[in-house]
A and B are shown apart, each in its own frame.
Chain A
């Protein structure tokens, strides 16, 4: 039975960039473990001889003409949903 420890949950949360409260870590440890137990069903399936399915359309190398298309939207329109902006740029907290 898969049983995720508090440390493992915190590690995965770091990878997923989700801050979690102590309470969330505890409830997610239980819930995630029971979900992982459930999906263990796949281990019983014999898949020795089959290839993995990445996608189902069978399409590959879908090309389009390589040409420059003029964007109909203005810089202001594109930036309108940014949480913070300054002088036409998206503003972020310091990186380093």
Chain B
């Protein structure tokens, strides 16, 4: 049988079509790999064995009949536990959804199923996606495949670790303030946050609805693009979705702006190798963006998480009155960070504080969007390091505010709804851990961001480095 380690989507597809490997063998390869290595990585919350094999057998039957198969047909993938998967447990890494088995799937899960992709595991994350290290999971701590004493990042830490450890060819994540890009950067994989509205959120556990985006974590920008094309588009079940638009600005001559203050950063070497004529641009203030983010997002969280009341689904604490049922359930089954964000959000939306916090932060959001518009007059994309440094050690950011500050380079694109990708672009000298380059595009110009990422990856091999498990 052909070597199966770290296949790209196209490589796996070619192996299937040329019958060098069957879809069943491919699924079995990933299941074996998870069985062999996941006790060290702890990326998976639920492994779908029997049904994944069943789905693969159908693909094999199709190939045996001589029928054509699509590019994603028979391709095994993992999904963050935020995605509802019919008949497959979905917990959002929270105790409050411990025994929750959704009766239907998210639109994106259905779309991937129609395209023939095979879900093999649900993976770990920070509880309700609140965090930047996956340490806030109520179930387990996921290790960074490059150094098991370090975090994989978060909140889509399980997704990034699963791609880096080859537990599937790609993974689905969610990104509210950097939750796809930061773990992608920490684990040396490619992670794309599309333009807000590009991908339906129907059937995905909500965090902050005016920010949440869904996107792929993958081996390369090429694979990320294949997945995005399969999951994007208008959805009648999500009225915030925007029409498809996949035209890149194909002038061939992209103007790349490096964010002021980061021109000497090591990850910029990957940019300069391909784009010798970069300009320097002023990025909207990171501190201001972060402050506005940590008012608006907890506010939306406190509203979205009202549904976890112990009544219709999820865990319920024993209590004699209805009000005690609410308060006890939410005390017993929410983790500390979820409580903290609920408290901040409830406070900033409460009588007397709304204008000073929520309303003010919404105005700051406008200011930040205008600053981006100004920056994009001088360039087509803005590049920054994805994070200020490599993956940190477990427990290193125990203070909540220090953890929040991890998001300083990523939250701005969520505030403005812009597409942004993180691609591997070097290693930290001291820790030998991967570093990521972030490419931010104009609203709607996902294709441009992907095009530039592909051009850089065509001229470098950072995305082909693998950790020793």
Contact = CB atoms under 8 A, between A and B. Distances in A.
Given A16-B302, A81-B314, A32 B210 contact: no
Contacts, number: 171
A95 B401 CA distance: 39
B291 A38 contact: yes
A73 B198 CA distance: 28
Q: Which of A18, A83, A95 has the most CB of B within 10 A?
A: A18
21 contacts: A13-B343, A16-B330, A17-B326, A18-B327, A19-B327, A35-B340, A39-B294, A43-B356, A53-B365, A54-B362, A56-B417, A56-B443, A72-B104, A81-B102, A81-B103, A81-B312, A81-B314, A82-B311, A83-B314, A90-B312, A93-B324
B322 A93 contact: yes
Interface in B305-341: 306, 309-316, 319-328, 330-331, 334, 336, 339-340
Contacts of B240: 55, 57, 59, 62
Interface stretch (B250-258, B366-374, B376-384): B366-374
Contacts of A34: 401
A82 B316 CA distance: 9
Contact of B366 (A35, A41, A51, A92): A51
B239 A59 contact: yes
B103 A36 contact: no
Contacts of B356: 43
Contacts of A20: 331, 339
Interface string B343-376: 1101100100000110111111111011000000
Given A32-B340, A39-B292, A82-B313, 14 more contacts: A15-B346, A17-B306, A24-B339, A31-B401, A35-B340, A36-B347, A38-B291, A39-B357, A50-B370, A52-B366, A57-B240, A64-B236, A78-B103, A81-B99
Nearest to A74: B103
Contacts of B330: 16-19
Contacts of B367: 45-47, 50
Contact of A43 (B316, B360, B366): B360
A46 B101 CA distance: 48
A84 B316 contact: yes
Contacts of A12: 343, 346-347, 350
B367 to A, nearest CB: 6
Contacts of A93: 319-322, 324-325
A38 B312 contact: no
B301 to A, nearest CB: 10
Q: Which of A35, A47, A59 has the most CB of B within 10 A?
A: A35
A54 B210 contact: yes
B331 A18 contact: yes
Contact of B239 (A62, A81, A95): A62
Contacts of B369: 53, 56
A-B pairs with lowest CB-CB distance, top 5: A56-B417, A52-B362, A47-B363, A83-B316, A81-B313
A47 B364 contact: yes
B242 interface: yes
Contacts of A59: 197, 239-240, 242
A34 B403 CA distance: 13
A4 to B, nearest CB: 8
A71 to B, nearest CB: 10
B400 to A, nearest CB: 6
Interface of A: 4, 9, 12-13, 15-21, 24, 28, 31-32, 34-36, 38-43, 45-47, 50-57, 59, 62, 64, 72-73, 77-78, 80-84, 90, 92-95
Interface string B393-408: 0000000110010000
Contact of A90 (B290, B311, B359, B366): B311
A53 B331 contact: no
B100 interface: yes
A32 B347 contact: yes
B425 interface: no
Interface in B51-72: none
A77 B316 CA distance: 19
B39 interface: no
Interface in B376-433: 400-401, 404, 416-417
A81 B100 contact: yes
Nearest to A9: B343
Interface in B86-124: 99-104
Given A18-B331, A18-B342, A56 B416 contact: yes
A78 B331 CA distance: 26
A39 B334 CA distance: 24
B9 interface: no
A52 B197 CA distance: 19
A55 B210 contact: yes
A6 B363 CA distance: 30
